[in-house]
Structure 1
Amino acid sequence: MPTEVDIQEQALVAKVVAGDRRAFTRLVEPLIPKLLTTSTRMLGIREEAEDAVQNALASAWLARARFDPSRPVLPLLTTITLNKCRDKLRRRKAARFLGFGTSPEPDFSPDPAPSPESETVDRQILSRTQLEIERLPLRLREALILVAIEGHSQREAGEMMGVSEKAVESLVYRARKTLKEKISLG
């Protein structure tokens, strides 16, 4: 049975499909922090993540006629955002290959620790973990971020990634195994 939130979202989606820009803003504004978190985790650089989300929302607006009011919007926007992240990662890889500039190093500062020593260790572990996550093959990274970090179910992640639930389970397992091996060797 649809909740009040579902009914409100469905009404907003219907208005968005009809071309109502204010309804689009009301629909996506509460979702932007989640999209930005996913994008930042995929790209590692806040500015690039913001660009990816902005591009995703622009694409969503242009494709609004294909929105389905009976389906939740967050998975759709997450899928579009992931696609924009993939595009940015491909461009970044091509730019590095061709020798065009260097991308800034991501800043992954952990929360302050109780002592300078533990803060240093925490920073090293976090930095190493983030580096290894970035080095994962794209599909492994996406599955890991969506399930283990963002908290989506394997079914939801599969829908967003366009793969089966079982494939997501396998991808997350392989990502975790790879991370464990890489981090324990470091």
Structure 2
Amino acid sequence: MQGQPDSQEQALVAKVAAGDRRAFTELVEPLIPRLLATSLRMLGAHDEAEDVVQNALASAWIARARLGPARPVLPFLTTITLNKCRDKLRRRKAAQFLGFGNASMPELASDPAPSPETETVDRQLLQKTHAEIQRLPLRLREALILAAIEGRSQSEVADILGISEKAVESLVYRARKVLKEKVSRE
């Protein structure tokens, strides 16, 4: 559902604007896995990512009047989800500053390596890379996750973040450069 919305999506958007909850569910349900993946990559914790997506969808329902038949739904929902992630990260940072709890450890996928030694090294590298992604400045992290990790086009990322395609290219380049320097140090 990138680019111009199709006629089915436009019809659903019209129903949603009129207050049809079933149409809203039908419209957003196929997009939830992508939104969840984005928020999980931003936050690093599955339970927080689910909460953020749920809040984002509630906000989208409240702001349904801003949906238009010519406006694609996925970038609209992704923007709301990213804003909710930013809010969550700010609250997390404030809580850590005030000494309330610790950030949860990110869930890491295991690598089916041929030997335990290789698996250990790969897991450590993945953990270090994930930790360094979490330490990137927010704008770099968003661009990297959307463009490089999720594979969205620079045009789509530019639309979601409200910046130019050249700025997206620059942010992704800088994020990769920072990661390469940090991860290769040992």
What TM-score, normalized by structure 1, do the two folds share? 0.95
Equivalences for 1:14-25 in 2 at 5 Å? 14-25=14-25
How far the C-alpha of 1:101 sits from its partner, in A, is 1.6
Question: Number of aligned pairs?
Answer: 183
* Letter of the 1:82 counterpart: L
How far the C-alpha of 1:111 sits from its partner, in A, is 3.4
Q: What is the DSSP-based 3-state SS (H/G/I as helix, E as strand, rest coil) of the residue aligned with 2:110? A: coil
Which sits farther off after the overlay, 116-125 or 60-69? Answer: 116-125
Which sits farther off after the overlay, 133-142 or 109-118? Answer: 109-118
What TM-score, normalized by structure 2, do the two folds share? 0.95
Give 1:43's aligned residue.
43
Q: What is the DSSP-based 3-state SS (H/G/I as helix, E as strand, rest coil) of the residue aligned with 2:6? A: helix
In 2: Cα distance, 1:7 partner to 1:120 partner: 50
Displacement over 4 Å in runs of 4+: none
Check conservation: 1:110, 1:126, Cα contact below 8 A. no
- Deviation by residue 1:98-156 (Cα, 9 ceiling, x = unmatched): 11122321221333323222211211111011001000000000000000011111111
- Deviation by residue 1:70-118 (Cα, 9 ceiling, x = unmatched): 1210111011000000000000000001111223212213333232222
Equivalences for 1:29-178 in 2 at 5 Å? 29-178=29-178
Q: CA RMSD in A?
A: 1.3
Gaps of 5+ in 2: none
Change (3 A) 1:26 1:111: farther
Give 2:8's aligned residue.
8
In 2: Cα distance, 1:110 partner to 1:131 partner: 16
In 2: Cα distance, 1:11 partner to 1:66 partner: 15
Check conservation: 1:14, 1:69, Cα contact below 8 A. yes
Gaps of 5+ in 1: none
